[in-house]
Chains A and B, each alone.
Chain A
Amino acid sequence: MPDPHPPRWEHDTETQLTSRQRLDRTARHLLPSVFTALVIIFFSAPVNIPGSAELLPAIVINTVFFWSVWRPSGMPSLAVFLLGLFMDLVGFTPLGVSAFILLLVHGIGSYARFGLMRMNFLVVWCLFGLVGAAAAALQWALACLFRLHLLDPAPAFFEALLCIGVYPLLSATFSWFLHILDEKDTP
């Protein structure tokens, strides 16, 4: 067994500290994705929450949009893609549709983030409303296309409304969360 000399020992502690920091940072980056995955698992479970089928995409679209705008490092494209695929596998949408829609939302959010960050909350909400409605409409259109049958648009409407309605709540929660993370980051 080799003797641990003092300089090497110090060096070890230093790398340990940095690896811990790295772990902390990774966890911080993974947090939105893990939260979304947990939401998907929770809402796809056979719990009878009214409107859970429409609430799940609404929450996921909200989360992806929020993090794409305010902290893109917490929601990279690959994570969005995997989350969408996971949602498709767990739910009953055609495989890849949610991934496609979420990637579009993510793209719009990260493309327009510098413009959006300077705007008033209400304006952002309105713009997000447009994005959410477009996402719901796209989902409905794709579902119609794959079934080759005109489906009832009422659930898509409901989903768009939920998407818009949930935004302030989730936005406030995530903002508070971001605040805490930033506070932790500074010292």
Chain B
Amino acid sequence: MVPVSIQVRQALSKLVLPVLLLMSVGIIIAGQADRPLADKARMRVADVLAPLWSLLSRTQTDSERLVHGLKEARNLAEENHRLSAENANLRRWYEVAVSLARENDTLKTELHWVPEPTPAFVTGRVVADSGGIYARAVLLVAGTSSGVQTGNIALAANGLAGRVTEVGAHAARILLINDIASRLPVELESSHAAAIMAGDNSPLPRLLYYSQDTRPIEGERVVTSDQAGAFPSGIPIGNVHYLHPGQPVVQPFARLDRLTMLRVFDFGQSEIEPPEAPGHVPLTRPHRALTLPFKTLLGPGQEG
């Protein structure tokens, strides 16, 4: 240390504050002039502090979880009581269900019921929203290698989403039910009346060609119908809603604008070939034309 007199030391200590103030002003100006440098310095400090911060935030989440657990524990008895009551109720329903299933089985045996095949399905992630020639179509990461075929049916979590129109080795394009090219035979659930659901690229596909004496009722469920042979009957699609009087649309159960996962079902519908009926003259080729999804896109002579 350089020996300095007390007076000089006091003078120096008085100078420290103004010098530091000037330095901070200088830093302000330098930081404004050279922003990338300031940002770099910030990032370096943040890098050093990041482990500490993560420790802090983990501690906080842990303590929050602890507090939450304690709160839960407080009404544990009440919850337990409620759950046991519910469990007793459900157990009763279970008994009812078992007896009903048994009864159903006996009745089916009595009637020599032919069991329906259980459909096979694969689940894939929706990766792209691009449609090729369609406006409303998605691409699914599941292709022929996983057993997806053209004409299979794609279901979202709680309703019909669309049909497989093109399939590659690892991807399949699915035409959604609200595309303008999509026309499906549907059934109104309460009246069992048939109608056609036609997409128009809007979120709500329209209902067409319903019979005039059984009009769709607001809120009625719409399910698929097996009329053309492309769909098995009874897959839920949506609810009837009237935008204007005389213009019923379907509100789909599936959130068609935010699809993330789809299950593709193979109902094996195309394998059901009607037996030859003597005297029955088919107007078109018997089943190929029916499984073709979009008749409307093709001219009358181009089918098959």
The residue from A45, A86, A142 contacting B53, defined by CB atoms under 8 A apart: A45
Q: Are A95 and B17 in contact (CB under 8 A)?
A: no
Q: Which of B142-175 contact A (CB under 8 A)?
A: none
Determine how close the nearest CB of chain A comes to the CB of B215; give it in whole angstroms.
54
Determine how close the nearest CB of chain A comes to the CB of B26; give it in whole angstroms.
8
Q: Are A45 and B57 in contact (CB under 8 A)?
A: yes
Q: Are A78 and B45 in contact (CB under 8 A)?
A: no
Q: Are A94 and B20 in contact (CB under 8 A)?
A: no
- Residue interface mask A24-68, B partner, CB < 8 A = 1: 000000000000000001101111100000000000000000000
Q: Which of B18-37 contact A (CB under 8 A)?
A: 20-21, 23-32
Q: Tell whether A96 pairs with B24 under 8 Å between CB atoms, given A46-B57, A77-B17.
A: yes
> Chain A residues near B24 (CB, 8 Å)?
81, 84-85, 96, 99-100, 103
A49 to B28, CA, bound (A): 29
Question: Chain A interface: which size bin?
Answer: 20 to 34
Q: Are A104 and B31 in contact (CB under 8 A)?
A: no
A122 to B24, CA, bound (A): 32
Determine how close the nearest CB of chain B comes to the CB of A136; give it in whole angstroms.
18
Chain A binding site: helix, strand, loop or mixed by DSSP? helix
A90 within 8 A of B: yes
Q: Which of B260-295 contact A (CB under 8 A)?
A: none
Q: Are A103 and B20 in contact (CB under 8 A)?
A: yes
Residues of B within 8 A of A (CB-CB), count:
25
A97 to B21, CA, bound (A): 10
Q: Which of A80-124 contact B (CB under 8 A)?
A: 80-81, 84-86, 89-90, 94-97, 99-100, 103-104, 106-107, 110
A47 to B228, CA, bound (A): 59
> Chain A residues near B28 (CB, 8 Å)?
94-97, 100, 142
A-B contact pairs, 23 of them (CB 8 A): A41-B49, A45-B53, A45-B57, A47-B60, A77-B16, A77-B17, A77-B20, A78-B16, A81-B23, A85-B27, A86-B45, A95-B28, A95-B30, A95-B42, A96-B25, A96-B26, A96-B30, A97-B28, A100-B24, A103-B21, A104-B21, A106-B17, A146-B32
B residues with a Cβ closer than 8 A to A are 16-17, 20-21, 23-32, 38, 41-42, 45-46, 49, 52-53, 56-57, 60
